[in-house]
A and B are shown apart, each in its own frame.
Chain A
Amino acid sequence: MLRSPTTWFLVGQRLGIAFITLIIVSFAVFFATELLPGDVAQILLGQAATPEAVAGLREAMGLDEPAIQRFIGWLTGLAQGEMGRSYVNNIDVADLLGGRLQNSLRLAGIVTVICVPVALSLGILAAMFRGSWMDRVVSTATISVISVPEFMVATLSVLIFAVWLDWLPALSYGVDVDSLGAMLRAYAMPVITLSFVVSAQMIRMTRAAVIETIETPYVEMALLKGASRTRMVLVHALPNALGPIANAVALSLSYLVGGVIIVETVFNYPGVAKLMVDAVATRDLPLIQSCAMIFCVSYLSLTTLADMIAILSNPRLRQ
């Protein structure tokens, strides 16, 4: 399908806004971590350190330079893929993060692959058969899942599946993942817990978006042409609900990268969120900043992608 120049202008504009947001967020991240209490040099050297030693370390670490100068240095480093070195164990932040990020993305990927199709189908079906028993069951179930905090779901599933039934390992990591079966078992509980939380929101938003378009005159017109319910929804309503659905999916998925700290903690899953909490405990500023930037980038790219889908699916911008 052809797109008009306006469409590409809007897409470019959206990308530009995303970039500016990223700069502003990096600024906020850097200076927010600056405000964290405690002095890194002091913490590293312990209570017994002499003031001269602390001052010397501060100088060696470049901490006595003006904040703005360090910010610019940090930002240019980030742009070149240089995330700095961890204060605590003097390893490259990139190395620390690498494995963790992979873990997080793997978990997020599995949840996405399972959730998005299930949630979209359930949402669309509930909208198609609005008021039926199926719709009521789905609506009630999603409301209940949203209302139960995820640590409850996580703890209960550990209690049931790991402790009482002894079907699944309580911890996801450290288990030998040598076969497909073992891997499925290792990931089952975190995936189930996350899927519950993430898909409930998607189902509700999808249902609402589809119902809104089902009530438009052009869908009624399709009905009066003799179209089946399936055709009305899939051919006429759904293409016009793409924008809001994409946004709902993006918002839910963005939670998978940064917001999974509870699930990672309960199942002792070594992802980025857990790494960040550890970094806060040790005042490891470069690590905290890098983790925050990763969350920010993933969130921004998801919402930007959703906005671009909304722009591209807008028929008024077609030629």
Chain B
Amino acid sequence: MMTDTPLVSVRDLRIGAITDSGRKVEIIRGVDFDIVPGEILALIGESGSGKTTIALSLMGHTRRGCAIEGGTIRVGKHDVTGMTEKQRARLRGTEVSYVPQSAAAAFNPSKRIMDQVVETTRIHDLMPRARAEAHARDLFRALALPDPDTIGERYPHQVSGGQLQRLSAAMALIASPELVIFDEPTTALDVTTQIEVLRAFRRVMQESGMAGVYVSHDLAVVAQIADRIIVLKGGETQEQGTTEQILNNPRHPYTKELLAAFDPVPHVPLAGRDDSADTPVLEVRDLCAGYGAVKDGEPAAKVLDSIEFRLMRGRNLGVIGESGSGKSTLARAVAGILPAYRGSVLFDGQTLAPDLAQRSKEDLRRAQIVFQLADTALNPAHSIANILARPLRFYKGLHGAACEREVIRLLDLVHLPATLRHRLPSELSGGQKQRVNLARALAADPELILCDEITSALDTVVAAAILDLLKELQGELGLSYMFISHDLSTVEAICDDVLVMYKGKVVEAMPATRMSQDATHPYSRLLISSVPQLDTGWLAGLEQDPELLAAFSER
């Protein structure tokens, strides 16, 4: 394979960008690689590593404000860097095509799916429309889409996310290109859906023999599909090698760090706390909540259905489930943001009012909630000191120097320097913002913190550091966490017990450490088996009951 003439060769690629403040920065700094025909190359890195920028440059496209400033990109016999925009347009779709990260956003909402799938053949005048549509239907079949003959007649909002992602692959493959770029195509999907999509991509790529570039931050996903991996950081190549070599014999410390984030860190419960005779810090009985107009005491859209659980003091409860399972609604109902219409929430043995507005200040103080996106949870116009001072004033009546001291102490608790308090949220990194978000919850001196997907928007290494911080805080302050996540390994790393939710119901409750062995409910088993493993043969060897899959995943 190595003797083939490369299909793509990139030499010393440099891409510059102009920041919002008008400063020029180099975001890709001298990257080299080759792709031989039929090979799938993965670009791995965290946000800001430049992986998508490199992939798009293979099509001669740079996003607004960016420009290719040096180096050469050759695709087939074309020198992409030297081409005019018109020539590049002729290359796009025909020789190099693109599968977007979010197909839901990449499909034009006002046009039928079929029109968009065959559009490439119309733009480049490649084949008669009838033939293009027939070809599209073949691709729909190959990608295991339901109703392949009629699905093209629908509008994008009428099919599911997993289906749209496969339809976007059909859109990329319609003109039989030589190279397909996959830009994090499964990141926005649930794990059970991801499996189906990955399988379909793999099969189609193997059968067609096209070369591919697979952009992802998830090594386990990449392990299933790529032949070779390039590890990127800050626009530079850290390590390049075959998938086996990168996974089993990484040389660069950064690659090792990425792999280490996958190692299961078994959670060690706090000693001497597990006394079942104690009153649970949080107990939920027969909790039902929903959205919409309330009629006869019940809302129009019921989401939570008779949820019951107990969380003992000093222990952590994980809530896992896929999008739409009701896990965030559960956090909102417990916090009282969305008042439950039936059932009760007991805190330390005392029943809380369903509605936030009716709870006492003391009740509010003892249970705090931390949201997923620190970007939207922190007021962009307020300094960090201001953000942290607010709960201190509200709950403890602190002012002036005392308040300032407390702000500094809180920042220290979450390992942030005291000088950071004069900055605005926009001047902080994603990880720092999430720490501030956590510090604000700690300001109330709570006993329970509801964490709603707080690590989901973060890069793996940053997320691992936040988890370590949570554990450390638990040891120091004796907190209990209710930890909501769609990511099983995160839950495994921090929780003692786990609730598996599906369509607003708890289908199973079990100890986190025994999750993979003890799960008995078919949905829990499906969910657990769908988490990609760092093993190149995992997807090929994975056997899931297709009927089970059809029953539980949105296909």
- CB neighbours (8 Å) of B91 from chain A are 226
Q: How far is the CB of A41 from chain B (nearest CB, A)?
A: 54
The reply to whether the CB of A283 lies closer than 8 angstroms to some CB of chain B is no
Known contacts A226-B90, A226-B93; A221 and B106 CB within 8 A of each other: yes
| A224 at the B interface (CB under 8 A) | yes
Report which of A221, A224, A226, A315 forms a contact with B109, defined as CB distance below 8 A.
A315
Minimal Cβ-Cβ distance residue in A for B102: A217
Identify which of B93, B105, B108, B124 contacts A224 (C-beta below 8 A).
B93
Q: Are A228 and B105 in contact (CB under 8 A)?
A: no
A185-225 interface (Cβ within 8 A of B): 215-225
A224 to B171, CA, bound (A): 11
A residues within 8 A CB of B107? 218, 221
Name B157's contact: one of A219, A224, A227, A316 (CB within 8 Å). Answer: A316
CA of A216 to CA of B109 in the docked complex: distance in angstroms? 11
In the complex, chain B residues 111-143 whose Cβ is within 8 Å of any chain A Cβ: 111, 119-120, 123-124
Q: How far does the alpha carbon of A223 sit from the alpha carbon of B96 in the complex, in Å?
A: 12
B120 pairs with A226, CB closer than 8 A = yes
Distance in Å: Cβ of A318 to nearest Cβ of chain B: 6
User: Measured between C-beta atoms, what is the minimum distance from B141 to chain A in Å?
Assistant: 22
> Of B61, B97, B100, which one neighbours A217 at CB under 8 angstroms?
B100
**Closest A-B pairs by Cβ, 7 of them:** A226-B92, A315-B110, A217-B105, A226-B93, A225-B93, A221-B106, A224-B98
Classify the secondary structure of A's interface with B. Answer: helix
Q: Which residue of B lies closest to A240 (CB)?
A: B110
User: Which residues 60-119 of B sit at the A interface, judged by CB distance below 8 A?
Assistant: 61, 64, 89-94, 97-98, 100, 102, 105-111, 119
**CA distance in complex: A62, B124 (Å):** 76
Chain A positions within 8 Å of B102 at CB level: 217
Say whether B110 contacts A222, CB under 8 Å: no
B53 shortest CB reach to chain A, Å: 13
Answer whether residue B59 sits at the interface, using C-beta atoms and an 8 A cutoff.
yes
Q: Is B155 an interface residue (CB 8 A)?
A: yes
Which of B92, B105, B123 is within 8 Å of A231, CB to CB? B123
Complex alpha-carbon distance, A223 and B91, angstroms? 11
Chain A contacts with B in 225-259, Cβ cutoff 8 A: 225-228, 231, 236, 239-240
Quick one: which of A218, A220, A225 has the most chain B CB within 10 A? A225
Whether A313 sits at the interface, judged by CB under 8 Å, is yes
Q: Which residues of A contact B171 (CB under 8 A)?
A: 225
Q: What are 16 sample pairs from A and B whose C-beta atoms fall under 8 A apart?
A: A218-B105, A219-B108, A221-B98, A221-B107, A224-B61, A224-B93, A226-B92, A226-B93, A226-B94, A226-B124, A239-B111, A240-B109, A240-B110, A315-B109, A315-B155, A318-B155
Tell me the minimal C-beta distance from A216 to chain B in angstroms: 7
Residue with the highest number of chain B CB atoms closer than 10 Å, among A223, A226, A236: A226
Cα distance, A228 to B171, chains bound together (Å): 17
- Indicate the size class of the contact surface on chain A: 20 to 34
List residues of chain A with CB under 8 Å of any chain B CB.
215-228, 231, 236, 239-240, 313, 315-316, 318
In the bound complex, do residue A222 and residue B119 qualify as a contact, i.e. CB atoms below 8 Å apart?
A: yes
A226, B123: Cβ atoms under 8 Å?
yes
Residues of B within 8 A of A (CB): 56, 59, 61, 64, 89-94, 97-98, 100, 102, 105-111, 119-120, 123-124, 155, 157, 171
Across-interface contacts of B97 in A (CB, < 8 A): 224-225
The residue of chain B having its C-beta at the shortest distance from the C-beta of A213 within the complex is B108
**Which B residue's beta carbon lies closest to that of A237?**
B108
Bound CA–CA A217/B63 (angstroms): 11
In the assembled complex, the Cα of A221 lies from the Cα of B90 at a distance in Å of 14
Known: A224-B98, A226-B91. 7 other contacts (CB 8 A): A217-B100, A218-B106, A226-B94, A227-B119, A236-B111, A316-B109, A318-B155
Residue pair B89, A226 in contact (C-beta under 8 Å): yes
A228 and B89 contact, CB distance less than 8 A: yes
Which A residues touch B90, using CB under 8 A? 226
Nearest A residue to B109 by beta-carbon distance? A315
Which residues of A have CB within 8 Å of B61? Answer: 223-224
Shortest Cβ gap from A40 to chain B (Å):
51
Determine if B59 and A224 form an interchain contact, defined as CB atoms under 8 angstroms apart: yes
Shortest Cβ gap from B155 to chain A (Å): 6
CB-defined contacts of A318 to chain B, threshold 8 Å: 155
B135 to chain A, nearest CB (A): 15
Taking the closest CB of chain B, its distance from the CB of A66, in whole angstroms, is: 41
Q: How far is the CB of A229 from chain B (nearest CB, A)?
A: 9
CB-defined contacts of B100 to chain A, threshold 8 Å:
217, 221
Q: In whole angstroms, how far apart are the Cα atoms of A226 and B102 in the complex?
A: 19
Q: What's the Cα separation between A219 and B100 when bound, in Å? A: 12
A219: which B residues are within 8 A, CB to CB? 108
Which residue of the partner chain, among A218, A224, A236, A239, contacts B92 with CB atoms under 8 Å? A224
Contacts of B89 in A (CB 8 A): 223, 226-228
The residue in chain A whose Cβ has the minimal distance to the Cβ of B85 is A229
Q: How far is the CA of A228 from the CA of B85 in the complex (A)?
A: 9
Does A239 contact B110, Cβ atoms closer than 8 Å? yes
Q: Whose C-beta in chain B lies nearest to the C-beta of A228?
A: B89
Residues of A within 8 A of B123 (CB): 225-228, 231
A241 CB → nearest B CB, Å:
10
Q: Please give the distance in Å from B17's CB to the nearest CB on chain A.
A: 16
Please name all residues of chain A whose beta carbon is closer than 8 Å to the beta carbon of B105 when the two chains form the complex.
Answer: 216-218
Instruction: Please give me the residue from chain A that is nearest to B96 by CB atom.
Output: A224
Residues of A within 8 A of B111 (CB): 236, 239, 315
For the complex, what is the distance from the CA of A219 to the CA of B110, rounded to whole Å? 12
In the complex, chain A residues whose CB is within 8 Å of the CB of B106: 217-218, 220-221
Which of B64, B92, B108, B120 is in CB contact (< 8 Å) with A240? B108
> In the complex the two chains form, what is the Cα distance from A100 to B108 in whole Å?
47
State A221–B105 Cα separation when bound (angstroms): 9
Within the complex, the shortest CB–CB distance from A291 to chain B, in Å, comes to 41
Contacting residues, chain A, for B64 (C-beta < 8 A): 215
Q: Which residues of B contact A218 (CB under 8 A)?
A: 105-109
Complex Cα distance, B213 from A3, in Å, reads: 41
Cβ-closest chain B residue relative to A215: B64
Give complex CA distance A313, B111 in Å.
11
Contacts A216-B105, A217-B102, A318-B155 given; does A313 touch B110 at CB 8 Å: yes
On chain A, the residues within 8 Å of B56 by CB distance are 224
CA distance A316 to B109 in the complex (A): 7
Give every chain A residue within 8 A of B120 (Cβ-Cβ): 225-226
Q: Which residues of A contact B92 (CB under 8 A)?
A: 223-226
Of all chain B residues, the one with the shortest Cβ separation from A315 is: B110
Across-interface contacts of A313 in B (CB, < 8 A): 110
Chain B residue at minimum C-beta to C-beta distance from A130: B64
Q: How many Å lie between the Cα of A316 and that of B97 in the bound state?
A: 27
Inter-chain CA distance A227–B94, complex, in Å, is 11
**Shortest distance in angstroms between B270's beta carbon and chain A's nearest beta carbon?**
46
* Residue of B97, B109, B124, B155 with most chain A CB atoms under a 10 A cut-off: B109
> Is B108 in contact with A236, judged by CB distance below 8 angstroms?
yes
Q: A221 CA to B181 CA in the complex, in Å?
A: 12
Tell me which residues across on chain B come within 8 A of A225, comparing CB atoms. 92-93, 97-98, 119-120, 123, 171
**Residues on B with beta carbons closer than 8 Å to the beta carbon of A215:** 64
A225 CA to B132 CA, complexed, in Å? 15
